[in-house]
Structure 1
């Protein structure tokens, strides 16, 4: 993958998946840790640098890791609620361990994806398209055998069509970001922009903004809306004009049209595609 993609991946995915040092069950009921990294078995968990939650300078034993893994598996009723697992196990993954696991998982995903015939050209794709497919694979897994339209879109380099076909049911925030990425890839390709550059701008964690809010976060929101062609001025206050512009942006990006800048809207705002381009998709 292009270096701009590997460099930005954690910045992109942490606001969506979180950064969780303890084991938990994801919404599919699978044991997960870090930035949404699913663990296939307790044996895989035991290869990771877990430490004791109350003594983080002491490494966890294989017995303690196994006990934690089993304890998490025993609570399918809590699947999809990571916070509810916070105090249920005695081991934690180190910060370096979270990063190393994510890097290892990302490389493995790329290796699996390029074995799919329609994705064989992945190394030559524009950076934004690479990040979009990796994002989908991170949440869904690398097997896209049930996604014939998306595979055909990618084989043809039709990133606008991929924006419509690359959706995971219920993953509103990720879908908004992936849609923006594919649209950006289309715009970058059509305008012969450097494919090594990630033109999408991951914005990271941002506060939820409501009408009449003010401050630096509102300025950032207004600057993004201005760059994208939805707003004419920056005032620092989420006034009526900004709310209307935000609603127009949400409508164009198939988001909940509520005039509130929440996680899904912030994710979509990372796109560099101007409103005039979005209107054609």
Structure 2
């Protein structure tokens, strides 16, 4: 099931659930989706993010805050207008997770809770401030999901949290999971999961064909997740990196690349490249500051063509290994192959260390593979967008098989 974002309207009569580029309106009293839904967000919500809304938070003044990535906007749902934004979360909610949140809920006490990855933060309603301390969900919410996709305060006074294909009702006093939960979303929430807009089959993103179509699309897919950086920098683990998340954590690896002087375009010598590598590697604090910190001190850069070649070479190595490892690799839906490459891009070859994913993928159980595709986010909040992308890719693969669509086509970033 795709990631949900939901909230109850300030009136308490209707709730709204968003997935991808579509949404449903949910009648609280009738306990089900209204007729005529799903609809496209872009057609009904002027100025709102048109797809992939991460979280929504109805506020005490009747407005609703919507979050996507590191951006936030305030919306008047009664009049269908944007009140503020989109602006960076760091500007609108100082002290909150500034790279993005997964879910938010305004508790009956007046406090708001924001969830990101496996952590959460609290907005104190009395002081009007965010507590900057991020706490583990598992430690403070007894029995709750370790990761939360969406959270709602229902008009009955019961809070609900959703994760994947399950949901749970929480005790409004202590936040513990009520007896008998979690339960399947599909059994209890009529209209969820959200299907496609009537008659809507997204246009494929990639050309028909084999692994090469995935190969051609992969740089476009990866750049928003990894960035495209022409200079050397430290990743969150302190490893020297360049390009589209390409590790070059030795001076010899760096010296083998065709760096040029940023100011003049003159090819750098081996000694100059190795000196730059050592300077970046030994600069204190770079790993915690992101790649832009290295931008201010770098002198050498890789040309675009060299970055493209780096990506292609690493992709081809991963392609050969996965083709040899997975017996049915060539018959996988293209979105599934793209998802596997996405996982492989984050580190060493993964299938032997992911038995649950491997078993599901070999059996063509793509919904199960989606559930097994989660990468650890500890200490690296930038992994969260990749996890969301991977989830969509494998769920798309399940839809391709179920609906008999063309397996050779890439449907991402659309959600089937």
Match of 1:62 among 265, 270, 286: 270
- Is 1:182 the equivalent of 2:182? no
Q: Which has the higher strand share?
A: 2
Match of 1:52 among 236, 251, 261: 261
- Is 1:126 the equivalent of 2:333? yes
C-alpha contact (below 8 Å) 2:241/2:247 kept by paired residues:
yes
In the other structure, the counterpart of 1:106 is 315
Deviations 1:239-272 (A, max 9, x none): xxxxxxxxxxxxxxxxxxxxxxxxxxxxxxx233
TM-score (norm 2): 0.46
Match of 2:410 among 175, 178, 198: 198
In the other structure, the counterpart of 2:246 is 37
Match of 1:79 among 266, 284, 287: 287
Q: Distance in 2 between matches of 1:3 and 1:86?
A: 33
Q: Distance in 2 between matches of 1:136 and 1:158?
A: 17
Structure 2, unpaired ranges of 5+? 1-209, 378-382
Match of 2:384 among 138, 162, 172: 172
C-alpha contact (below 8 Å) 2:259/2:267 kept by paired residues:
yes
Structure 1, unpaired ranges of 5+? 201-269, 274-281
> Aligned pair in 2 of structure 1 residues 123, 44: CA closer, same or farther (>3 Å)?
farther
> Aligned pair in 2 of structure 1 residues 133, 23: CA closer, same or farther (>3 Å)?
same
Q: Distance in 2 between matches of 1:114 and 1:76?
A: 41
In the other structure, the counterpart of 2:168 is none
C-alpha contact (below 8 Å) 2:214/2:337 kept by paired residues:
yes
| Higher mean C-alpha deviation, range 188-197 or range 171-180 | 188-197
Give the secondary structure class of the aligned counterpart of 1:271: coil
Q: CA RMSD in A?
A: 1.6
Match of 1:156 among 352, 363, 378: 363
Rg larger in 1 or in 2?
A: 2
> Where does structure 1 differ by over 3 angstroms across 4 or more consecutive aligned residues?
none
Q: Distance in 1 between matches of 2:392 and 2:270?
A: 42
**Structure with bigger RCO (C-alpha 8 Å, 6+ apart):** 1
TM-score (norm 1): 0.68
User: In the TM superposition, what is the alpha-carbon distance from 1:76 to its structure 2 partner?
Assistant: 5.7
C-alpha contact (below 8 Å) 2:261/2:301 kept by paired residues:
yes
- Is 1:88 the equivalent of 2:302? no
User: In the TM superposition, what is the alpha-carbon distance from 1:82 to its structure 2 partner?
Assistant: 0.7
